[in-house]
Amino acid sequence: MNTAPTNVDLINRLAAEYVLGTLRGAARRRLERWRGTSSLVDERCRFWEEGFMPLLLGLRAIQPPAHVWQGIRARLGLPATARRNRVRRYALAASVLLVTALAALLYWRTLAPPRAAEVATISAPSGALLWQVEIYAAPGTAAQLSVRAGTLAMPPAGRDYELWALPKGTSPVSLGLLPYRHNAARRALTVAQQQALANAAQLAVSIEPPGGSPTGQPTGAVVFLVPLRTVS
């Protein structure tokens, strides 16, 4: 069939299986072609793409290694900054040596530790530091959460401490379990976590079953509530 069918139920079923990924092979290629020519096919595909999207946003974010971005930039022939662009033109024209120097510069820049944008300190009533929380959101790097545990940060018996962002006017969003005893955790933030943090003035810590809240919301006692401070 070269032209898209007009049976709405059939189009809907094929579009759903296309978006789901179970429509494969020649049938998949054919639907892709129809999508380019039929507004109905396109509309049905978008319906399913938006409908299913939240399932994927629930995946735990994974920070890609730095060389992936460098590869994209290389493939597209993009400069990292205007200044580097000028250097790069010289490098290309002048010498392999200069190219090597530029690569070293890019390497150093990528590895240079970013500056925390927001911080929160969680302390025991005695004043002893339990956790230092830092949010990194420097342009050009994925937003990350870093948590360092102090000496006295110990797990509650048979349970875990879970960290939450408290966005204004909406439900808490989990930022994961807290590390213990001098350990540090660093993880990439999901889009949902970044959004929650952008609208949050406070972080909370709750006591949860081992491995974290089974519901996605705090289920145990909230034991710490601390302000999230922007670093100027």
Give dist(CA 160, CA 206) in Å, integer.
Answer: 8
51 phi/psi in degrees, rounded to 5: -65, -40
User: Per rule CB under 8 A, is residue 209 in the interface with other proteins?
Assistant: no
Q: Name which of 146, 205, 201 is nearest 174 in CA terms.
A: 205
Q: Which helix (H) or strand (E) holds 35?
A: helix 25-37
The three-class DSSP label of residue 51 is: helix
User: Per rule CB under 8 A, is residue 65 in the interface with other proteins?
Assistant: yes
User: Per rule CB under 8 A, is residue 198 in the interface with other proteins?
Assistant: yes
List, as own/partner pairs, every contact residues 16-20 make where C-beta atoms lie below 8 angstroms and the sequence separation is at least 24, other chains included: 16/44, 16/48, 18/45, 18/48, 19/45, 19/48, 19/49, 19/52, 20/48, 20/52
Mark 155-194 with x for binding to other proteins (rule: CB under 8 A) and - for no binding: ------------xxxxx-xx-------------xxxxx-x
Binding window for other proteins (CB under 8 A); candidates: 53-61, 90-98, 100-108, 155-163? 53-61
User: Per rule CB under 8 A, is residue 37 in the interface with other proteins?
Assistant: no
User: Per rule CB under 8 A, is residue 61 in the interface with other proteins?
Assistant: yes
Tell me, by CB under 8 A, how many residues bind other proteins.
66
User: Per rule CB under 8 A, is residue 102 in the interface with other proteins?
Assistant: no
- For other proteins, the binding residues (CB under 8 A) are 12-13, 16-17, 19-22, 24-25, 28, 46-47, 49-65, 67-69, 71-73, 75-76, 78-80, 139-143, 167-171, 173-174, 188-192, 194-196, 198-199, 215-217
